[in-house]
Amino acid sequence: MNNNQSLYIKKEVMARLIRAYLSDDFPENTRVIPYDMRPTGAEVPYRCCIYKERAILKTRIIADLGFPLEDDDERINLTTYAKQAELREKISDKHLTVLQQACKGCTSNSIFVTDICQGCVARPCTNACKFGAISVGDGRAKIDNEKCKKCQMCLNACPYHAIVKLSVPCEDVCPVGAIKKDETGFASIDFSKCISCGKCISACPFGAVHEKSQMIDILKSIKKGNKLIAMIAPSIAGQFRGNLYQLKTAIIKSGFYDVYEVAKGADKTARNEAREFIERMGDDDAMWDAIHPIAEPDDKSSETFMTTSCCAGYIQLVNKHMQNMKPYVSDTHTPLYYTAEYVKSVLPDCVTVFIGPCLAKRVEGFENKNVDFVMSFEELGALFMAKDIEVSECEETKYNIESSKQARNFGVTGGVAEAVKKALKYESTVKPLVISGLNKDSIRQLKKYAANGVCDDGCNLIEVMCCEGGCIAGNATINNVRNAQKQIKDVIADSDDIEKI
């Protein structure tokens, strides 16, 4: 499992909050969480003093109660926030917040010459810089920050590795420049740019960027006696110790009425994307022979490639930053869409809770009328922790509907493209390209394809995953990618292949 200490603190805070809600006095037991975690006289492991640590714990609890820290009034205590959470009827459309108490206000991105510099005769750093930003004087290199473009050419050229880059982790990983310092010097999110990829959450070593939780809303619904249906993302198979069938038992023990695999919706997504793919690529003679029973010759398409539509972060990227890619994005709905639609059709009075790996799926769930709430893998782990449930010790419970091998592999890079390909009778017609992780380079690559209308090397199906490695690397996952891949490989070993269209 992931040994990130920041993640462990987040999990402990959430577990304590859940226990407080399940207690006889939710407001009071919420108020004392910071004092129980950092009692007087205890060691102060991370900050300057115990009071700072308690203040940060308080802000984490406010976010876990579902409130934005941007609106926080320090005079309001946790008792009041807990009472407001109990009375809340609607969840907010903004799912991300910044804990300024935890934010370090990192030094701005810059290229810096260290004392290791030898002022060497060859001057490789000055030769490498195309902007005249670096010079040598008094025996060492100097950088003119007014001219520096942060291209890092001098850094790569220095034989002593004496030039380093000072980074702001959250800003560095954001592929669309949506997080920057505001006038206070702390991180602030521009939601008009944000694609909810969650990379800033994972990157911040202080855990200062935080999802706003819906956990209290979910627990309230359980307390009311509603039938809660958990819809679990395919990537969950690689997150907990224990198999997929033990996980179903554990989720039901935690208070849910039943559990459905979103992988079953992935089966429908893969087959529908396969149909759409062959209809769009129908101008190719070999392709046309493959799809003849489905379309008429007059319907032949002239498109050269199609991108998948499963990653909610990628869809937000297209909508906010890459409009000219829209014609190439599959119109097929996501696995969550089809799963939630089915669950509501057979259990119209139920409350649906999607359990997923990332912030982007929280946004997708909010926009779907058939999804009532969203819970992350981290939060599910905290729920198990609060209720002393060990997945590996639970008995197995079968699913009412089993999913295919390819659908259960949707959360691993290449899994979606493989499922679409496997769903086709003529698999050789698919020439996939996998974009594993959205960053400035991969976005530049996608923009080129959109502008030219052609994909490199004759590829005709582009799978885009926001996270490097796939959904198993989402910001709310709790296992490392390598272990998650192995666990999913074990899960799918006994599953059947997808039904071909």
Token pair 């529908």 in the structure block, residue: 272
Is the distance from CB of 54 to CB of 41 less than 8 angstroms? no
What structural domains and CATH numbers belong to the chain? 1-89 (no CATH), 110-166 (3.30.70.20), 217-263+352-393 (3.40.50.1780), 267-334+404-492 (3.40.950.10)
Task: List Cβ neighbours of 436 (8 Å cut-off, separation of 6 or more).
Answer: 413, 414, 465, 468, 469, 470
- Is 496 buried (19+), middle (13-18) or exposed (0-12) by CB count in 10 A? exposed
Task: List Cβ neighbours of 434 (8 Å cut-off, separation of 6 or more).
Answer: 413, 414, 417, 462, 463, 465
Q: How far apart are the first and last CA of the chain?
A: 38
- Where b means 16+ CB within 10 Å and e means fewer, 384-398 reads bbbeebebeebeebe
Collapsing DSSP states into helix, strand and coil, what is residue 454?
coil
**pLDDT at residue 380 above 80?**
yes
Q: Return the pLDDT at 206.
A: 92
**pLDDT at residue 468 above 70?**
yes
| 463 DSSP β-pair partners | 434
The residue among 409, 397, 400 whose CA lies nearest residue 247 is: 397
Nearest 10 degrees: Cα torsion 38, 44, 45, 48: 120
The three-state (H, E, C) secondary structure of 338-353, written as one string:
HHHHHHHHHCCCCEEE
Render 75-99 in DSSP notation, one character per residue.
TS-HHHHHHHHHH--S--S--EEE-
**Helix-helix angle 377-386:215-223, to 10 degrees:** 50
- Model pLDDT for residues 47-103, shown as the tens digit of each residue: 889 999 999 999 999 999 999 998 888 899 999 999 999 999 998 888 999 998 899
CA–CA distance from 110 to each of 151, 172, 251 (Å)?
10, 11, 47
Is the distance from CB of 66 to CB of 219 less than 8 angstroms? no
Name the token pair of 139.
């025996």
- Model pLDDT for residues 138-182, shown as the tens digit of each residue: 889 999 989 998 899 999 999 999 999 988 999 999 999 999 988
Name the token pair of 384.
């198990």
**pLDDT at residue 231 above 50?**
yes
| 185 DSSP β-pair partners | none
User: Which pLDDT band, with edges at 50, 70 and 90, does 1 fall under?
Assistant: low
> Averaged over 336-352, what is the pLDDT?
98
User: Which DSSP helix (H) or strand (E) runs through 142?
Assistant: strand 140-143
Token pair 């982790």 in the structure block, residue: 169
Question: In whole angstroms, what is the distance from residue 466 CA to residue 337 CA?
Answer: 19
User: Which pLDDT band, with edges at 50, 70 and 90, does 448 fall under?
Assistant: very high
Identify which of 131-135, 339-343, 429-433 has the greatest average pLDDT: 339-343
